[in-house]
Each structure stands twice: as C-alpha cells, then as structure tokens.
Amino acid sequence: MESCIVEKNLMIEQLIEKELKPFVKKIDADAFYADGFLKKLGEAGLFSSINKQDKEMLLDEMHVVKETAKVCMTTAFCLWCHLAALTYIRKTDNLEIKNKLLSSFENGEILGATGLSNPMKYYAGLEKLNLSAEPVEGGYIINGVLASVSNLGENHWFGLVAGVSENKRIMGVVPCNVSGLKLKEKVDYLGINGSSTYACAFNDVFIPKEWILSENADLFVEKIRPAFIAYQIPLGLGVTQASIELIEKVGQKQNGCNLYLKTQSDDLQEEARKLEEKVLTIFNRDESLNWKDVADIRLKVAYLTLKAVQTNMLHNGSAGYLKDSAPSRKLREAYFFANLTPTVKHLEKVLTV
C-alpha cells in the first residue's frame, strides 16, 4: 500500500515537472490554457474511481489539486472545475449520461466544468437564478446567461441549473458545441487568465432528458455540495505551501532582516498543519461529510492563504513587486481564491445564518 502511494506521488511530481512547470509563465502572462496537463492526469489514472470509496477518492484527488496549486493555481483551479463536473456525473442517478461520460471524464478524454457559480449563490440567497428551462417533448429549452464558466473548450461539457417554475429546478450537463450556445472568452482578470473562462449565452438551447442529471436540482446540489467545496480546500493550501517555501528561500536576505517580521514561515506552516488535520478529522468520521464543516475549513483556508501571500510579499520585498515574480503571482492567485464561489463573504453568510 505504501509503495503504491509513493509511486503515485512520484507520477504526480513527474507530470507536474514535465507537463506544467515549463508553461507556468505562459499561463500567467499569455493566458495559455494547460488542458494537456489535465488530460495527462486522467490518462495516468489519477481520476479513476475504480475500487475506491467516496472519501478515499476525494482525498486522493485533493492531493493532486494541492500539488498542482503549489506550482500553478490557475491550472489547479481548472482541475477543480473538472473534478466538480466529475462529481456531478458520479452522483447522478441518470445511468444514460453516466455511461456516456464517466469513463471519458475519468481518463481525461473529455474535460468538464462546473457552471454552478450562479446557482450556488442563488441557493445562498445572493443572486437570482440566471437560466430558465421550458419543458418540451424529450427535454428542456434553456435560455439565459452564465457570466463566467471556466475550463471550457472543444469537446468539454459543463453543468447547469435552470428554473422550470417557482418550485422546480433541474440540473443537467451540456457540451460546449451544443446548438444555440454562444461562448465569449474573458481574459481581463487580474490573474487566472489561463483558465479558459467564457461567458455562456443560452438562446433556445435544447437539452435532451439524457443530459439531465436530476429533475430535482435542489436535492442534487445538496448531494454534490460537500465535494464541490472540499476540492477547493487544496487550492489554498497549495498556494500557502508555495508561499512558505518562497519565504524560506529569502530568509537570509539583507543580513537576516526578515527575522524581524511578525509572521514567519513556521507560523504559517503550523496553521496549515492544523487545517490539514481538520480535513482528515472530518473525513475519518463514519458519517457522510457535512457541507458546513467543509465550508468552515474552506473559509479558514481562504484567510490563511491571504495571510501567507501577504507575508510572502513582505519577506521578498521589492523583488516580489515585479509583475512576473512568483510572489506577485501567488498574491493574485490568493485574491482569486478568496473570490471563488463560494466566496469569503458567501461563506461568512452561510456559516453565520
């Protein structure tokens, strides 16, 4: 068992070294989309659910996200998008769509995206639902606009929730090339422009029933929400760990003056260790994951990540202020993470109310 873990970790390390590290600056500066890396992870069997329990599978895949985020959180974010979509397929009772997509999602042949930023905000009482669904023979007609969906491309699929009536919402998946769907690329972000993000306008898009994950989206979202949030936790932990390593690299600069700063790498490491222990604690319980327990950790990780990247900037001084420096990239990644649905303010609300 231990040798299998070592072998798998070595495989992840080699894929990151060969398929991701050479492109990091291109991803950050030129909005390069590293879909080849994501597909290689699938080809290597790192998304396989064969002979795995849900929690074991989640922890394994969260580890891949964290290792990726240490090097490039933009690509780790795309990986999260894929794993969220993969969760939808794994959890649906619609065997037709599961049989059509599951193996292709797991082996990297097809990549997926979430499409649930607006619906998650809707369920938290932050926004109105942006998509509507009209029942027709054999399926639904979808209209409306999703402002931002990431990890999209040719032969990609993504999730959606649409309102049928005041009391009914459906959840389905659609391919990017479906008739009536218009995609407009968005690359004006402070960071993560290599995430292949698009505004998605639905104009009388027909979705057949075989693409419907659930006729009761309200219940289905409750089922997928713990994993949806859990897969985000290692995004922040990866950026935090990378920041710690960057801080340690400059420990002796200017005759060790960094030692006078109030926050040191050891402080951050201890906070990260405690949060990782909390993750294992909730995963080791016999009962199923409680999404609010997961959300609480996700919120704490967001605040730790912001603290880590700010500390990293202070330790690196003017060198970190260069536009293409690793510390400035980590800073931009962390602010994106804080505003990734569920955002910090979104989490603060749902954990307080």
Q: 88, 98, 331, 322: which is closest to 227 by C-alpha?
A: 88
The CATH number of the structural domain formed by 232-352 is 1.20.140.10
CATH topology of domain 2-106: Butyryl-Coa Dehydrogenase, subunit A; domain 1 (1.10.540)
- The pLDDT, as a whole number, for residue 190 is 85
Q: Mind giving me the DSSP string for 291-316?
A: HHHHHHHHHHHHHHHHHHHHHHHHHH
Domain coordinates in residue numbering, the chain: 2-106, 112-220, 232-352
Q: What is the pLDDT along the chain (353 residues), one digit of tens a residue?
A: 556 677 888 999 999 999 999 999 999 999 999 999 999 999 999 999 998 889 999 999 999 999 999 999 999 999 999 999 999 999 999 999 999 999 999 999 999 999 999 999 999 999 999 999 999 999 999 999 999 999 999 989 999 999 999 999 999 999 999 999 999 999 888 888 999 999 999 999 999 999 999 999 999 999 999 999 999 999 999 999 999 999 999 988 888 888 999 999 999 999 999 999 999 999 998 788 999 999 999 999 999 999 999 999 999 998 888 888 999 999 999 999 999 999 999 999 999 98
Spatial distance between the Cα atoms of 300 and 314, rounded to a whole number of angstroms: 21
Return the SS3 of 166.
coil
The CATH number of the structural domain formed by 112-220 is 2.40.110.10
Spatial distance between the Cα atoms of 122 and 180, rounded to a whole number of angstroms: 24
Rounded to two decimals, what is the model's pTM?
A: 0.96
- The pLDDT, as a whole number, for residue 74 is 96
Q: 177, 159, 81, 85: which is closest to 119 by C-alpha?
A: 159
